[in-house]
Structures are given as structure tokens and as C-alpha cells.
Amino acid sequence: MLSNVIEDIRKKGKFSFEKIVESNDLSDDEFFELLKFIYSENVPEVRTSVDGSDFIALEDENFYILEKNTIKSYLEDVKERNREVFEKIKEKKSFKTDELIDRYLKVAVKESLNYSKFGFSFLDIVQEATLGLISGLNYYYRIMKNFKSPEFFLKNFSIKYILEFQKKLLKNIKSMELSYILYLKLKLDKADGYSLEEISKQMSVNPEYLEDLEKLFDKVKDEKSIESEKIFEKADKITKTYILENIPKKLGYIDEQILVMFYGLDDKIYSEKEIAKNLNIAYHNVNILKEKALNKLSIDMLQSDFVKNSENLNFLVN
């Protein structure tokens, strides 16, 4: 299996972890060998995840306040750990084996932000990413001996575990939820100026099906339940490969960068003034945008949740 994956990458001259994980079940040892090949050959990665956009609007942004507070508390804890790590690096102190998780935890959390997608809990994602980090650390001394660049390997082990987790959940996803994700992708692409024909070609889906899907869910905010078995049965037949790659991300570029900088998930912990300067945004908007990013991150809702909570939440798709 591994040899086939490597041969395919050689032919294409590029790779996508989302496609690799969706199509293959690689052990950690096989994945490590794959990473060695990619790193040594300097093969470029193509990330196919859809960038986040404000296509989800919550009129009551405090609806997920408990989830948001838990996420915020977790990220604050990570920030304090990173503060200690940066201080230790500054003082050129070495890290013991049992301190390596704290040393590289920011890598797992950063990738959790990058791969936080609609329909998946961020806290679940970061847990899987951390497990991936721990698995990657099993190869730490081999990495340091031969490559001297652990972050590439540890980052991608985190990504592997995130994608495998998402893949597993998608196998059990209900047709209603699956079709609703397709609907959100359709609305997002339309907002970006793509025609129905272009979208259907990209999805390899009949345009009439997309029209039916759009009509169905455009009415959802006025209905307590939805019954269209034909739509749902067809949605179930959409390939999981497409879904894994195209579920929209919760966060846009600015959202991600603000959280990465504020919580020290890159090279240092940035002040709000530094964030404003680096991202070319007004200083007084930094905290507002940070809170909005946390709001987006806390959304953990698929269509079944929407139907269940429709009386309590005004949930709109722009």
C-alpha cells in the first residue's frame, strides 16, 4: 500500500494528506516512512480544505457560550504553557523527554485550528491532534538524528490523526447531515461567484440534484422537520472523499492568524498591538475579531442539531 502511495506522489509531483488518508489506512510506521520520503524529496503539498467564510451567521452569538468558555479556558492554558516554553528556549535550556509534549503542543493546537471544520467539535479535534503528536514523538530521536526538523513530522502526525478521526465520523454520518453539509458548500461557492454548473462539475454531481438540495434547505428555517428520502438517499451516495476535502472550515485566514498569534501557537505570544500591526487591522478590532473567531470555533452543529434546536436558535445561511 505504501509503495503505491509513494509511486502516485512521484507521478503527480504533489500530494494531499486529505486524499491519502481518505483512500488509505496507513499505520504510524508506514506514515513515518511516507513523511521521510516527502521531506527528503521536498514534495509540495496541496491542501484542498475549503477556507472558512462568514457563511454561517448566529444571531445569538452566546448560544454556544459553554463550549466557547471551555475552548477559551483550554487555549489560555496552552498560552501559559507556551509562555514557559518560549522562556526556556530563550534561556537555551534543554527539554526532557517527558517535557516534549508541552514543547510541541502548540503544533497540534495550530493544526486543530487549520482543520477545524463545520460539524466537528474543536475540542474533539484538538484531542485527536494531541494523540497524533504523542505518536509522532515516538519517532522523535530518529527524526533528530536524521533530519533535525521535528516540527514537520510532528505537525503531520497531528494532521493524520485529525483526518482519520473525521473520516471515521463521516462513515457514520446520517444522510440528513451529509446533505446539509453539501448544501452549505453549495451556498459558499455561490457566494464566491461560482455558477451552479461550475459547482456541479466540481462536485461531479447532477445540477438538478443541487437545485433540489437548495430548495429543500432554503426552507429549513421555516420548518420543524424535513422529509425528502429521495434527497437523503442520493446524498448518501456522494463520495466521502469529496466530503472530507470540501467541508468548509470554521475559520478564515484572519480568524486563524489572530488566535495563533494571541495564544502563542507559532514563534511567540503576540500582544494585541503587534497583532494589529502584523495583520494590518485596527487595534480596537483585535479583541472583537478574536471573540468572533472563538464564537465560530465553538459552533458544533450538524443538521440534526439544527432541527432539534430550531425553536431556540435563529440559524441562517447567508
Q: Picking from 1-15, 84-98, 190-204, 205-219, which range would have the lowest pLDDT averaged per residue?
A: 205-219
Task: For residues 82 and 309, give the distance between their C-alpha atoms in angstroms, rounded to a whole number.
Answer: 38
Indicate the pLDDT class of residue 86, thresholds 50, 70 and 90.
Answer: very high
Question: Is 38:15 a contact under the CB 8 Å cutoff?
Answer: yes
Nearest CA to 157 out of 32, 47, 45 is that of 32
Indicate the pLDDT class of residue 303, thresholds 50, 70 and 90.
Answer: very low
Q: Tell me the backbone φ, ψ of residue 145, rounded to 5 degrees.
A: -70, -40
Residues forming a β-bridge with 317: 56
Considering the chain, what percentage of its residues have pLDDT values greater than 70? 77
Task: For residues 15 and 9, give the distance between their C-alpha atoms in angstroms, rounded to a whole number.
Answer: 6
Question: pTM, whole model, 2 decimals?
Answer: 0.75
Task: For residues 106 and 265, give the distance between their C-alpha atoms in angstroms, rounded to a whole number.
Answer: 5
In the chain, where are the structural domains located?
1-48+94-172, 175-249+301-317
**Grid cell in block for residue 156:** 503531520
Question: Is 179:232 a contact under the CB 8 Å cutoff?
Answer: yes
Mean per-residue pLDDT of the chain = 81
Q: Give 220-272 pLDDT, tens digit per residue.
A: 554 444 445 555 555 555 444 555 666 778 888 999 999 999 999 998 999 99
Task: For residues 234 and 302, give the distance between their C-alpha atoms in angstroms, rounded to a whole number.
Answer: 18
Q: Give 44-65 pLDDT, tens digit per residue.
A: 988 765 454 444 444 445 556 7
Task: For residues 75 and 265, give the distance between their C-alpha atoms in angstroms, rounded to a whole number.
Answer: 10
Task: For residues 128 and 166, give the distance between their C-alpha atoms in angstroms, rounded to a whole number.
Answer: 10
pLDDT of residue 36 exceeding 70, the answer is yes
Average pLDDT over residues 116-143: 93
H/E run at residue 232: helix 229-236
pLDDT of residue 127 exceeding 90, the answer is yes
Q: Is 172 exposed, middle or buried (0-12, 13-18, 19+ CB in 10 A)?
A: exposed
Nearest CA to 109 out of 245, 280, 256 is that of 256
Task: Give the pLDDT score at 10.
Answer: 93
Of residues 264 and 188, the one with the higher pLDDT is 264
Which DSSP state fits 117?
B
Task: Give the pLDDT score at 216.
Answer: 75
Task: Give the pLDDT score at 174.
Answer: 60
